Amino acid sequence: MTTINSTPVTANRKLLNWVEEIVQLCQPAAVHWCDGTQQEYDALCELMVKGGTFTRLDGKLRPGSFLVRSHASDVARVENRTYICSPNKDDAGPTNNWADPVEMRKKLKELFKGCMKGRTLYVIPFAMGPLDSPLCRIGVEITDSPYVVVNMRIMARMGRVVLDKLGAKGEFISCLHSVGAPLQPGQQDVPWPCEPDVSRKHIVHFTEDLSIWSYGSGYGGNALLGKKCLALRIASLMARKEGWFAEHMLVLCLTSPQGKKYYLAAAFPSACGKTNLAMMQPTLPGWTLRCLGDDIAWIRLGADGRLYAMNPETGFFGVAPGTSNKTNPNAVATVARNSIFTNVVLRSDGDVWWEDMGVPPPEKGMDWEGREWTPGCGRKGAHPNARFTAPAAQCPAIDPDWENPQGVPLSAILFGGRRPSTIPLVNEAFSWEHGVFLGSAAGSETTSAALHQAGVLRRDPFAMLPFCGYHIGDYFAHWLALARRTDRAKLPRIFFVNWFRKSADGRWLWPGFGENSRVLKWICERIEGAGKAVRTPIGLLPAPDALDMKGLDISGADLAELLSLDVEGWKKEAADVGGNYQKFGERLPAELNKELQDLKARLNEEPTMDLGKASVR
Ligand code: GTP
Ligand code: SPV
Ligand code: MN
């Protein structure tokens, strides 16, 4: 066996033993301990260019950047192949696939046996969170994919510094990944090796030793194990035990014209607008927005009784289609260099293109499947779940505190989803319990971020449906318990937003993107006890004149529809939420059932509205 960077610069026995054990199991041709340097990154990119995996983009148009096309079977997270293996089935709950840990281990050992033949095994020591943060956690990913290594270097702190922090005795979360495509002697490699048979892909989390085993996919959350696997599923287990929160949330800082700062976190399901909101440019004069994170927040109770949020990642793995100078100029600037583009169109000038990029399509290009593509050909050029990987530090709107080890104190938490009807533009919860209820009842039309039918309504509590590592009923209880651990007045206010309401003829009723600042402004005013609200059966809605609409051309009828209460729609909504609650059985906290019953009762009463009067809770 040849080894590159073979001398592990660690005395951590546990790590050395684990690597040795996996080398025996997977039988790679070589072992490479990643140091995390730029030279290493460059060398691996070059290796992938030579091997046909990467295409180097034009050095002037897109410096330091690469295009990669995945296998057509490997384009998104595979939720039906994702498992939580807890000793008791009940502990995984009704929202997770469960498998017996002993049997799953046996099955995985068979799959992993010799699976890295002909490939290099990379050892990636990485940290989620600033190294000096009380919430920082160390993981080590073993992978046979150089694509994973270079993406992990953008998405997480990795290499020597992490081994130094780990030391001889430190604990780490072991994350084993293989694309599941061993090479026989003399066999030619393919640009995107993976296991094309979906039934053999496995994304597995063991809740006892908190380890991760991922087999068969090289894409996104299936393969970059620091992200959804560690920072959400495994972290949610640790967080529950230790009294903190691992959430699928963006974190942003909004500054008012008076210079007051508001830190907000927002949980929207995959491909429902986190990245866009996280770095949005407010259209309202005088307001500025800074980004702290676009996908994951680790949140803890501070000594002062407030909730502090920290982004454990260092990069963005964002949806490319729809990203334009009009919708998200900060993302466009972020991906201008040193970025990796997966499954977008390659232009003949050596740059990339995707649908709704806001620039004309190339006359001729190559689509995400490597086929010749022309604008009129009837196929999409980029895959709907095409992604960019880009360093957070390159975002022009990055907040100076984005790497603050303590995190930032939250003033509000937002929930949301894609809801073409019923759900108003914004709705404020009456209380912490009502807010947790709204989060637990969140739903969205499904998107292309996971392999399943897109566009059907599914309940996605707290946007954590595919990411909670334990029983979702216990998860709700964990959130409810927070109100007993601190002064309620110090808790963030909770809001529910919906940028995706449509008219009867299928138009977006709300312009979204930068115009969402109007909603955020009202939220800040509510936090100040000022903004005018109407008390309705479902929550506190903006009074008819409460949203700042200066300079926005939107019809009175559309605005009224966005802010109206659809009583019949909400009766159906409440019934559907109740149906979903049935699945949670005895572990559904009584407080949430009470919130649901109270909602139903309020909907059946004649809604009494104090129109135009500020309603202070
Ligand atoms: P993940 O990375 O999968 O977790 O997704 P995300 O929640 O970060 O979603 P993202 O911001 O990437 O947005 C996904 C899609 O929704 C893109 O096509 C956006 O253009 C679109 N989108 C985002 N914000 C808005 C909005 O305010 N209005 C409308 N109509 N579309 C939006
Ligand atoms: C999501 O699906 O929520 C993502 C993309 O952020 S992935 O990293 O693939 O999970
Ligand atoms: Mn996400």
Q: Is the CB of 295 under 6 A from ligand 1?
A: yes
- In the chain, % of residues over pLDDT 70: 97
| pLDDT tens profile 311-340 | 999 999 999 999 999 999 999 999 999 999
Question: How remote is the CA of residue 313 from the centroid of ligand 3, in Å?
Answer: 12
- Alpha carbons 5 and 426: distance in angstroms, whole number: 54
DSSP helix/strand/coil, 488: helix
Instruction: Report whether pLDDT(608) > 60.
Output: no
Which residues lie near ion ligand 3 (Cβ < 5 Å)?
270, 295
Q: State the sign of the Cα–Cα–Cα–Cα dihedral 252, 257, 261, 263.
A: negative
- Alpha carbons 24 and 13: distance in angstroms, whole number: 16
Output the pLDDT for position 607.
Answer: 54
Does the reported pTM lie above 0.95?
yes
Q: Give the number of C-alpha atoms closer than 13 A to the C-alpha of residue 603, restricted to the C-beta side.
A: 18
Q: Is the CB of 444 under 6 A from ligand 1?
A: no
Output the pLDDT for position 271.
Answer: 94
| pLDDT tens profile 7-27 | 788 999 999 999 999 999 999
Band (pLDDT 50/70/90 cuts) for residue 612 is: very low
* Residue 317: closest CA among 397, 403, 224, 251: 224
Cβ burial of 24 (10 Å; 0-12, 13-18, 19+) is exposed
Measuring from atom 8 of ligand 2, which residue has the nearest CA? Answer: 221
| pLDDT tens profile 422-444 | 999 999 999 999 999 999 999 99
Band (pLDDT 50/70/90 cuts) for residue 610 is: very low
| pLDDT tens profile 231-271 | 999 999 999 999 999 999 999 999 999 999 999 999 999 99
- In the chain, % of residues over pLDDT 90: 94
Question: How remote is the CA of residue 398 from the centroid of ligand 1, in Å?
Answer: 18
The DSSP code sequence of 459-483 is E-GGG-TTT-SS-HHHHHHHHHHGG
Band (pLDDT 50/70/90 cuts) for residue 105 is: very high
Instruction: Report whether pLDDT(609) > 60.
Output: no
Q: Kindly list the structural domains of the chain, giving each domain's residue range(s) and its CATH number in brackets, ordered by start.
A: 13-33+78-242 (3.40.449.10), 247-311+402-612 (3.90.228.20), 316-392 (2.170.8.10)
Sequence-ordered list of residues with C-beta below 8 angstroms from that of 199, at least 6 positions apart, any chain: 81
Q: Measuring CA to CA, how many Å separate 479 from each of 268, 398, 500, 589?
A: 17, 29, 27, 10
Q: Is the CB of 569 under 6 A from ligand 1?
A: no
Band (pLDDT 50/70/90 cuts) for residue 448 is: confident
| pLDDT tens profile 163-186 | 999 999 999 999 999 999 999 999
